[in-house]
Structure 1
Amino acid sequence: MEKLNLTQIETLLKNLDGWIYENGSISKSYVFKDFKETFSVMTRIAFEAEQQNHHPLWENVYNQLTIKLNTHDVGGITQNDFDLAKRIENIVNKK
């Protein structure tokens, strides 16, 4: 895994609506209808994360979900983070 530089990160972020780079992670916050919908999406993301062996840092409060991704092994952002972010977007958009 290769750690991406800021230029690479900014370029890849252009393909992810609403995702930002801050504090060494790419992140996005979502708001759902209620806790049940939020937890359902989180469960689908959890299965995908486990399949990729790449797990998000996330915070859930009722219908709000914030997801942060980085690759601890390299101390920064890698293509793996963007791959998981794209899968998360697909999951959220299919809810």
Structure 2
Amino acid sequence: MPDLSKAHCEACRADAPRVTDIELGALLQQLPDWGVQDRNGVMQLEKQYRFDDFQQALAFTQAVGEIAEAEGHHPALLTEWGKVTVTWWTHKIGGLHRNDFIMAARTEELARHSAGLRDVLA
């Protein structure tokens, strides 16, 4: 499977297919620290990042926002003192699309280059 962080999001329509269970397993293997949450029947891809302080968390949030804006695919971002929770899902289809995994991989790339990233919460 090609490197997700190098892929680009495709335009998503309301009738776009959600990832299958087989695809989900294969995609999660490329993002081992990410988890899938079921919120009211909507599958969402989520990870929490830790930072040394609020300023670093805020800078990471802004950077994630910039890559999201560039691709036209936007996450839920919860910024707190010393941590950021990033949640990807495709609103139009009410679940997970390949685009969500592409953006999670891009978030990982960004995190690897962010100063102050200490560790990942399970």
Give TM-score, length-normalised by structure 2. 0.74
Count of aligned pairs between the two proteins? 95
Which residue of the partner structure matches residue 3 of structure 1? 18
Determine if contact 2:49/2:85 at 8 Å carries over to the other structure. yes
Matched, 1:69 2:84: no
Q: Which has the larger radius of gyration?
A: 2
1:28 to 47, 58, 83: 47
**Structure 1 residue ranges (4+ consecutive) displaced by more than 4 angstroms after TM superposition:** none
Which residue of the partner structure matches residue 88 of structure 1? 107
Determine if contact 2:61/2:79 at 8 Å carries over to the other structure. no
Matched, 1:18 2:33: yes
* Structure 2 SS opposite 1:84: helix
| Residue-by-residue CA offset, 1:28-73 (whole Å, 9 max, x unaligned) | 0111111111111111111100011111012111111111111011
Offset at residue 9 of structure 1 (A): 1.1
Q: CA RMSD in A?
A: 1.0
Residue type of the alignment partner of 1:49 = A
Gaps of 5+ in 1: none
The alignment-based identity, stated in percent, is: 26
Return the alpha-carbon distance in structure 2 between the equivalents of residues 50 and 18 of structure 1.
Answer: 24
2:63 to 33, 44, 49: 44
Return the alpha-carbon distance in structure 2 between the equivalents of residues 67 and 44 of structure 1.
Answer: 12
Give TM-score, length-normalised by structure 1. 0.93
Gaps of 5+ in 2: 1-15, 115-122
Return the alpha-carbon distance in structure 1 between the equivalents of residues 53 and 25 of structure 2.
Answer: 32
